[in-house]
Structure 1
């Protein structure tokens, strides 16, 4: 490997198909634990014949986060968690992982960790003042401020009830007893995605209202009630604008906006109501600017909030996600596609935009995975990620089980345990979150899916408890089935 431009930091980059040394050492140690775990269930084999088992969890916002937590707790209580060499997630399931991996060796004390996590979800709160302060920090200090920062601060913090600034590097040496974690993202330049911004046109939504300098006001000088009030109005405005640009129904957000501005004088209130009756893509700029022109009603210092929100909408309009410098820029290596080296920056987005389950990183042949335990937390079709993965694996010549044609009945009322096998492929165990075993008939499954939609306000206590129970049931109802598949795989290895 040679470098086109030498970096001043003289950093080394390893490009190789083999796994890095830390992963090899971690998994080697974990396999010993897995062998002991299977012995507790009366399954005996040599270390050489031990199947490599990976647990993977799909995306699905808070539904996936809470669902994965419940599944892990059940695996822990049934003495099966130590069988898992890897834990891979994407989108909502990584929110659960990120919380767990902040606690050193969490899998050996999961009941206690779960209690703390659950209490934060039920009782925690992040003030808008703190969100705005964090956004301002990101906006002014980061070279690559993007929608990922906005999404984390404004949306994910509402669900996980904290702003998490921890790093993977800080956790690297703290998890010798835990499954090896894999967090999945999508490289936008390597995939030909249909941008969700396709329905959005170029908008200077904030116009002159957001032209002042970001540093003109100290956000901490604003009173908490005042910041909360202004913040809610502006965030509602952002969400309303996106709905209109995507040609979705904005009526609920319009009503929320009108209600939140109830103390306007009569003339302004009547104008707002009149403009709100016919909001569309043609007049959304005018409508947004009118709302912003009312900022003097809140406080002149709210111009800072307008500036940040204006930048947020600009990034949404251009669909600019997780931008970071490409450390491979201008390098040369035969093992890597030349296109990787051409871009000074790379953009990474939620992997749920394409295949909503992290099969592909686990199918890397160097990881030698024998059993994939797939937990599906999708909102509607629990087989979509399987079918997409099979199609991509066929295209890339990767061994993956053939997925038989799935009936509409199975999609709307799935069973709680599916096994897919192929001659050279890893065995895939697939468990849909809501199924006929833990919910009942098709109508009950429909009700549960409707109750836990992907985009909705954070769950209350009861919803968290009920979802944890459903996810735990899926594991506890299938403990013997899991062990049977493991035994069969060992026999095949022999």
Structure 2
């Protein structure tokens, strides 16, 4: 449940802020969301002077100014005047903000030369407004460059505002402010005070509003329309303004070119009105002066949007998952009684939560995962599983299985026989001209829907062919029918959110896709899976898009392959021609179908010009980057970080200096999510099952990593150590590293919070001698079947190989199945231990 994190770790100087706080239980169905009421403060920032500034221009001193950004209080960047040719510029300029005390207000000020950003170590400084004691003035000298003794003097003061406290919604990490809906129209009539001149437009905008810079234009060519409507959504707390501008656009001949024109836009006038001065819920007529004797007439209505959010701000499990667990535990209880030989079915709180995590590894991971699950089924252990979590190639297995709502209750041999036909069939058809035309049509449909088309989307369509060889209409939400009655384990698909210009060692955020939701647990923020890719602002769904087909999600989950389409082409086609080269025929066919002349082959070979919007974006991405990132609308846009977000136990952050300590650079402040294959962080989705709310007791770790049997465990251990998440210590002998066994158990007998981890490397250990536990191979054919190497330079199970010979597929299935059957005792031992540890936990709770 929600904890009042504001009351923790507060310095005595900030105690006056606590008195006005009011907590109210929120009726939204979000178990740990609260409505909180906090006061406003008036912040005054005075830029005083700088000293010892060394300009970048050798011929003169610096021309300095300071820019100030406080995105939690204003969408506008303020800046001082420029002080020319001075090493010791002095400004004494004052800027004012109204800040809401519940959010983390970080003022960012940047020191600039007029033409060149000073490349000092402290050119940009982040200052926490919470360091200011209310009612006092704080003067501080910031060091811009220690080597050159460059310094900047600032002065701050914070006074409580007379504005009454307002309610916000929060989960202790994110804060949702009230949102205003601004609708209206530009009115044109004979009484209008401004006259539309040739090539002139009136632009209406609300800085910081949804789809900023969202705007409405009124121009001469729209005179027949008497009213030009507009709608904006904006955070009420940033003191929003409605702006009107008179713009004139002229065409200028580009120097040196006889045919190209460059469009130049000049502002002839500008005016604004504060939305806070307009009455709520009423239509009003206003006139905004935009120049000498000119004004624009508007009809405007400002309303508060509903308080109920479309983003779930909570760290608790969603309703669908909670209901699933209640039903699944009944099935698991019966299975445990039978498997462990218990005298009676264990009670609900005695049932250990068992999760499977499966690593990536392309077709190798998908095939071996089928074999592991078949082994669990034959041991009657599928029903004891609560969660199955996959990453990269293992998600292909999950997404195929969960098309059948009752897959775990049926003989998996039947499904495996279908998969065998697909895996052993030729993949050449994926790159035929007809199929490429289909890809382009699908990508253009995505672009028309509003998606940013990338290589990941193309890769998703190629996966669709590899796994189905036809269009797969299914969506992830369809899988709700597979868990609605608890009949199968709960599937979780993994990805990570990254920053394109930051290494994965410095920043990754684990994301989860389930049949019910998509979200980032780090922030306690989730949306319905049906709304993935739709546009949100301030927690409200404002632009609904169709839920993407699951093939496009598969492109995200296994996007590590998307950057290697040329290599995949070489593997599948075995041709000297590259993947891009073969696109000539497909593009030619499309152009001819459209009635366009064919492209110049030289242009295609040089990768300079390609037709169509989707084509252009797609192949520009291919040319410029090797890592393919899926850009999805950020559903947390408009939400802010709670002032004590870093102290919330649910906010799982890295230790030491990192971006988690810089709220202005965290994901809620971004326009888009950058989603990639989770294997770029850890090639097994441990973080998603280690969430405290899921309470996992036993983890079955299936590792399909290439030549790295313990790497995912060491990565997971490091991840957990940095974030203080309970995880067993991984100690592996040199002998085991050189020749790993089929199963390892890791646990901490002294810490009941640490899950038991059973780790299964993909190794051919005793299968070379035994066809079943205790049953040796007898015939030469049987011995030959079991005598093969999973790894090695000549192995058929390379990650880039997507087609196996029938015997190669059968061997991998049988090996993975056997490795489970041969370690039944280890699994049963882990279940018995987990039940005993559960009992001890229950005693401690009582």
Report the TM-score when normalising by structure 2. Answer: 0.45
Assess if the C-alpha contact under 8 Å between 1:320 and 1:347 holds in 2.
no
- 1:404 is aligned to 731
In 2, Cα distance between the equivalents of 1:369 and 1:320? Answer: 33
Report Cα offsets for 1:30-49 as digits up to 9, x if no partner: 11111111122243233321
Partner in structure 2 of residue 386 of structure 1: 713
Q: Equivalent of 1:292, from 587, 598, 604? A: 604
State whether residues 421 and 428 of structure 1, in contact with CA within 8 Å, keep that contact through their aligned partners in structure 2: yes
CA separation in 2, counterparts of 1:135 and 1:34? 46
Q: Which of 417, 420, 425 is the matching residue for 1:118?
A: 420
Structure 1 equivalent of residue 765 of structure 2: 436
- Match in the other structure for 1:105: 406
Aligned to 1:180, which of 485, 490, 515? 490
User: Pick from 21, 31, 46: which aligns with 2:329?
Assistant: 31
Is the 8 Å Cα contact of residues 403 and 420 (structure 1) preserved in structure 2? yes
For the pair 1:78 / 2:367, whether they are aligned, the reply is no
Check conservation: 1:436, 1:442, Cα contact below 8 A: no
Q: Which structure 2 residue ranges, 5 or more long, are not aligned?
A: 1-168, 170-175, 181-209, 211-232, 234-304, 507-561, 582-599, 646-650, 652-659, 770-785, 840-846
Pair 1:466-2:776 in alignment? no
Structure with bigger strand share is 2
| Number of corresponding residues | 416
Give the superposition deviation at 1:479: 1.5
User: Would you say the 8 A contact 2:443–2:458 is kept in 1?
Assistant: no
Q: Report the Cα distance in structure 1 between the residues aligned to 2:571 and 2:808, rounded to whole angstroms.
A: 26
Inter-partner Cα distance in structure 1 for 2:811 and 2:637: 48
Q: Is residue 2:624 matched to residue 1:317?
A: yes
In 1: Cα distance, 2:640 partner to 2:505 partner: 30
> Displacement, 1:104?
1.2
**Cross-structure match for 2:77:** none
Quickly say closer, same or farther: Cα 1:462–1:362, change in 2 above 3 A.
same
In the alignment, structure 1 residue 417 sits paired with structure 2 residue 743:
yes
Structure 1 residues 199-245: Cα deviation after superposition (integer angstroms, max 9, x where no partner): xxxxxxxxxxxxxxxxxxxxxxxxxxxxxxxxxxxx9x9616x99xx
- SS, match of residue 388 in structure 1: helix
Measure the CA separation in 1 of the matches of 2:793 and 2:571.
25
Higher RCO (CA < 8 A, seq sep 6+): 1
Structure 2 residue matching 1:103: 3-state secondary structure: coil
Q: State the partner residue of 1:493.
A: 838
Question: Structure 2 vs 1, CA of residues 171 and 21 (structure 1 numbering), >3 Å: closer, same or farther?
Answer: same
Pick from 591, 615, 635: which aligns with 1:308? 615
Counterpart contact for 2:424–2:803, Cα < 8 Å: no
CA–CA distance in structure 1, aligned partners of residues 765 and 574 of structure 2: 38
Shift of 1:58: 0.4
Distance 1:69 1:312 in 2: 35
Unaligned runs of 5+ in 1: 196-234, 244-249, 262-287, 296-301
Aligned 8 A contact 1:99 1:117 in 2: no
* Deviations 1:340-395 (CA, angstroms, capped at 9, x unpaired): 22111101000111200010010000000000000000111110010011001000
Partner of 1:332: 640
Distance 1:332 1:352, change over 3 A: same
Q: How big is each residue's C-alpha offset from its partner over 1:434-490, in whole Å with a ceiling of 9 and x where there is no partner?
A: 142235799945459833111124223222111111110111111122112211222
Q: What is the aligned partner in structure 2 of residue 130 from structure 1?
A: 435
Q: Which has the larger radius of gyration?
A: 2
Contact conserved, 1:135 with 1:153, CA < 8 A, in 2? no
- For 1:238 and 1:148, the matched residues in 2 are separated by 10
Give the match for residue 341 of structure 2: 43
Per the alignment, residue 57 of structure 1 pairs with 358
Cα distance in 1 between the residues matched to 2:571 and 2:477: 44
Does the Cα contact within 8 Å between 1:400 and 1:426 map onto a contact in 2?
yes
The change in CA–CA distance for 1:358 and 1:162 in structure 2 (over 3 A counts) is farther
Select the residue among 719, 722, 743 that pairs with 1:395.
Answer: 722
**Pair 1:482 & 2:802 matched:** no
Give the Å deviation of 1:4. 6.7
Output the CA distance in 2 between the equivalents of 1:145 and 1:252: 24
CA contact (8 A) 2:453 2:614 kept: no
| Structure 1: distance between partners of 2:369 and 2:470 | 18
Residue 411 of structure 1: CA displacement? Answer: 2.9
**Which of 690, 708, 711 does residue 363 from structure 1 map onto?**
690
Going from structure 1 to structure 2, the CA distance change for 1:433 and 1:306 (only over 3 Å counts) comes to farther
